[in-house]
């Protein structure tokens, strides 16, 4: 007996209706950013065979740094070599994709609703105008260091002038040292380097004012005694320029693992000062506009708020933020990798729950609902099927 041709459309209609809660996408997850955080997220997703694409603009906060430090198993590795090795290994996973373009925009297409089984859905458009869809987005877009325009400062940044003593301080220990920043930050900076350096000058660049003294006294009432205890001299003259006299990448004490940079600090008046290295205390800003374009909740210091949510989630359902750009209080490579792995785990489980909800909904739909859907899809086709098969 041959059934009417309407039977095939009926089965297809039912299948489509029952599986419509999980949209078809190019990838399960889109990761924006190719630094340690983004690479860690892609690795974690690949390990459980989630399809994920990492978009890499090739802009990295630690790119100027000679070497990474305090990264277990990679101490002394140049950042570019670390990234290349990570990409090479992650590329072995068939579900991992690398796309060497920046993401220009992200548009939410469907937002999670607790009243149904819908997943989140996003369209991301890259710098070439190509659009991709995914159910989750992980932002690993990083920060930029907002440096003064003082000549020579940017050129020396990451190579004897640095913001993280754990990353670069050990190689410049026991050398004439400088702290760069506003007066109200000198004690917090000093506390980070007292075990590394003893010959310290705080270059506060004209910020020794009644206002900054008031701010500092609120935080550290005994600040004068504290800096005196470590023989720190405050230099308040306005800095005119930094001039490199020796490159620590070329001149080193290899027996003691020291990089021997030398800088001359010139001022708008008076004699220059010679220092070997500096710890900076300047501000940061989001590298990407995407957090603002997505209207994510931000903290007062300009970080993407993830502290109010679990699993590196942000205020927008389906969007995670990892690495330096988020608010969980740490900015270094180990933190970046941890946060990337955490977002990968939470993102994977979130996707799995949505998949599971869709499967359960497919199995539990009532017979009456099936009948109504069939009637809607094919009209009186059921009657014709019955006429064909009845005795």
First to last CA, the chain: 12
Token pair listed for 335 = 């933190």
Q: How far is CA 217 from CA 187, 235, 273, in A?
A: 10, 18, 28
pLDDT band at 382 (very low <50, low <70, confident <90, very high): very low
Model confidence over 201-236: pLDDT tens digits? 999 999 999 999 999 999 999 999 999 999 999 999
Report the alpha-carbon distance of residue 303 to residue 343 in Å, rounded: 17
85's CB contacts (< 8 A; 6+ apart) are: none
Q: What are phi and psi of 239, to 5 degrees?
A: -80, 130
Report the alpha-carbon distance of residue 190 to residue 167 in Å, rounded: 16
What's the pTM? 0.86
Report the alpha-carbon distance of residue 362 to residue 352 in Å, rounded: 15
Is the four-CA dihedral 365, 366, 370, 375 of positive or negative sign? negative
pLDDT of the residue at 388: 58
Model confidence over 164-184: pLDDT tens digits? 999 999 999 999 999 999 999
Q: Is residue 17's pLDDT more than 60?
A: no
Q: Is residue 23's pLDDT more than 90?
A: no
Q: Please give the torsion angle defined by the CA atoms of residues 75, 146, 292 and 52, in that order, rounded to the nearest 10 degrees.
A: -20
Q: How far is CA 85 from CA 42, 91, 104, 344, 371, in A?
A: 14, 10, 27, 20, 56
Q: Name the nearest CA neighbour of 319 among 37, 121, 54, 42.
A: 121
Q: Is residue 375's pLDDT more than 90?
A: no
Alpha helices, H only, 177-332: 186-193, 210-219, 223-229, 290-293
105: Cα within 13 Å, side-chain hemisphere: 9
Q: State the burial class of residue 241 (Cβ atoms within 10 Å of its Cβ: 0-12, 13-18, 19+).
A: middle
Q: Is residue 16's pLDDT more than 90?
A: no
How far is CA 219 from its chain centroid?
A: 30
Report the alpha-carbon distance of residue 301 to residue 180 in Å, rounded: 20
Model confidence over 65-98: pLDDT tens digits? 999 999 999 999 999 999 999 999 999 999 999 9
pLDDT band at 380 (very low <50, low <70, confident <90, very high): low
Q: Which domains does the chain have, with CATH numbers?
A: 27-144+284-363 (3.50.50.60), 154-280 (3.50.50.60)
Q: Name the nearest CA neighbour of 194 among 231, 230, 245.
A: 230
């Amino acid at each position: 007996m041959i059934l009417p041709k309407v039977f095939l459309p009926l089965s297809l209609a039912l299948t489509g209706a029952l599986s419509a809660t999980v949209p078809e996408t190019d990838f399960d997850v889109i990761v924006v950013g190719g630094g340690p955080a983004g690479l860690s997220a892609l690795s974690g997703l690949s390990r459980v065979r989630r399809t994920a694409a990492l978009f890499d603009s090739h802009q990295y906060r630690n790119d100027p740094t000679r070497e990474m430090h305090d990264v277990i198993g990679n101490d002394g590795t140049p950042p570019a070599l670390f990234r290349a090795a990570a990409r090479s290994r992650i590329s072995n996973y068939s579900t991992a994709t690398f796309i060497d373009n920046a993401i220009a925009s992200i548009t939410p297409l469907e937002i999670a609703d607790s009243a149904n089984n819908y997943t989140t859905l996003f369209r991301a458009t890259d710098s070439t105008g190509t659009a991709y869809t995914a159910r989750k987005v992980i932002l690993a877009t990083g920060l930029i260091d907002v440096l003064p325009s003082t000549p020579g400062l940017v050129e020396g940044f990451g190579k004897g002038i640095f913001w993280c003593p754990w990353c670069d301080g050990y190689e410049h220990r026991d050398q004439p040292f400088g702290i760069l920043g506003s007066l109200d930050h000198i004690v917090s900076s000093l506390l980070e380097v007292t075990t590394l350096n003893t010959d310290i000058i705080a270059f506060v660049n004209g910020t020794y004012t009644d206002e900054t003294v008031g701010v500092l006294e609120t935080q550290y009432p005994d600040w004068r005694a504290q800096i005196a205890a470590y023989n720190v001299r405050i230099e308040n003259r306005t800095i005119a320029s930094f001039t490199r006299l020796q490159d620590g990448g070329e001149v080193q004490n290899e027996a003691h693992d020291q990089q021997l940079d030398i800088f001359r600090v010139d001022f708008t008046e008076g004699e220059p000062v010679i220092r070997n290295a500096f710890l900076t205390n300047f501000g940061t800003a989001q590298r990407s506009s995407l957090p603002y374009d997505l209207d994510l909740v931000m903290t007062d210091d300009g970080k993407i708020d993830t502290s109010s949510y679990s699993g590196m989630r942000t205020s927008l359902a389906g969007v995670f933020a990892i690495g330096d750009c988020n608010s969980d209080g740490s900015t270094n490579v180990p933190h970046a990798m941890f946060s990337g792995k955490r977002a990968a785990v939470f993102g994977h489980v979130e996707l799995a729950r949505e998949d599971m909800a869709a499967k359960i909904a497919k199995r539990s739909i009532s017979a009456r609902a099936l009948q109504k859907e069939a009637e809607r899809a094919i009209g009186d086709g059921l009657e014709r099927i019955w006429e064909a098969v009845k005795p």
